[in-house]
Structure 1
């Protein structure tokens, strides 16, 4: 039990620091100090900082998957909730963008384990959107999901580098403009 607590404490501190300051900018020593542990203890749970980064991203993905499981099962309502949540998140104090986009920018080698976690998460996210679009009867659901996720990614970046207050509205409007022409009229929400 105590071992799990120590690992979680290290991971929690690393998550806060990685998101606030950037992954490469945060040293293992800074995480060790923030977690109130020793180097020996740190390396007992994480063989390297890269292993910790992988664990951080896996935890972020697990949180997002748990959140997505709570979306309304109606595909239209669920997609709207997804867009609204993106907008809300982009307006939150301390928002620094998508942790997966940030990690991909910092780890440029496509064969790196960190990029593998990013890719796995992105594949899941794409399938989440694609499945909902398919349920709506959207033509070219996979291609439409690509477009919606590009909008989402742009919104996340915009929310970080500029005023995020317009993100939710702009994302919802753009999503409607892309989606509505591609679904049968009988499946469109009023």
Structure 2
């Protein structure tokens, strides 16, 4: 069956996107629990009816926020890995990407760790999404470290993950330069443990 786009349906996607873009900004900057639906509606210039038509509840919007952050992060990692000449270069590229995050004017730490801090129940759906993302990221690091011939790629992936988390959390809480430098030292040490062939 063909579906014809009417003026009403043509405007749905932009409004839905505006709501999610607004949530992305406000949830990251001010925290999910601090941002109410009315503020999102006002800032995204939609009606209450439009908001509830697209998302039905703030909980659904929170899930979409985490999904969109996850998709963006995973796409960025894949792009760096695909554009790198070697697994070693890919790990360095990921390091550079994280270091660049630390220097952004609106940097407020890791969006995923921020969500975890606001939702302590590990069974909550947003926590499950984040756990899946972290498993995916750790697996990507494992494959890269395996590609560098690291003798213990699983351990190396865990260390890189912890260095990333520490830099993003520590960079927000304190000195971004020191956090980035400490992360770089860990990454370079882990890469140096790889076996040349």
Please give the TM-score of this superposition, normalised by the length of structure 2: 0.89
Distance 2:25 2:64 in 1: 13
Equivalent residue, structure 1, for 2:56: 47
Equivalent residue, structure 2, for 1:184: 195
Q: What pairs with 1:150-189 in structure 2 (closer than 5 Å)?
A: 150-181=162-193, 183-186=194-197
Tell me if 1:33 matches 2:45. no
2:149 and 2:196 in contact (8 A); partners too: no
Shift of 1:166: 3.1
Report Cα offsets for 1:62-92 as digits up to 9, x if no partner.
1112212221151000100101111121121
Q: 1:60 aligns with which of 59, 69, 86?
A: 69
For the residue of structure 2 that corresponds to 1:92, the secondary structure is coil
For the residue of structure 2 that corresponds to 1:185, the secondary structure is coil
Distance 1:114 1:73 in 2: 35
Distance 1:56 1:19 in 2: 10
Equivalent residue, structure 2, for 1:138: 150
Higher-Rg structure is 2
Equivalent residue, structure 1, for 2:123: 111
Gaps (5+ residues) in structure 1?
Answer: none
Distance 1:41 1:107 in 2: 27
Distance 1:140 1:124 in 2: 18
Please give the TM-score of this superposition, normalised by the length of structure 1: 0.92
For the residue of structure 2 that corresponds to 1:2, the secondary structure is helix
Q: 1:102 aligns with which of 108, 114, 128?
A: 114
Distance 1:115 1:148 in 2: 21
Gaps (5+ residues) in structure 2?
Answer: 1-9
Deviating beyond 3 angstroms after TM superposition, the runs of 4 or more aligned structure 1 residues are none
1:84 and 1:168 in contact (8 A); partners too: no
Shift of 1:170: 2.2
2:166 and 2:179 in contact (8 A); partners too: no
CA root-mean-square deviation: 1.3
Equivalent residue, structure 2, for 1:92: 104
Distance 1:62 1:131 in 2: 19
1:97 and 1:157 in contact (8 A); partners too: yes
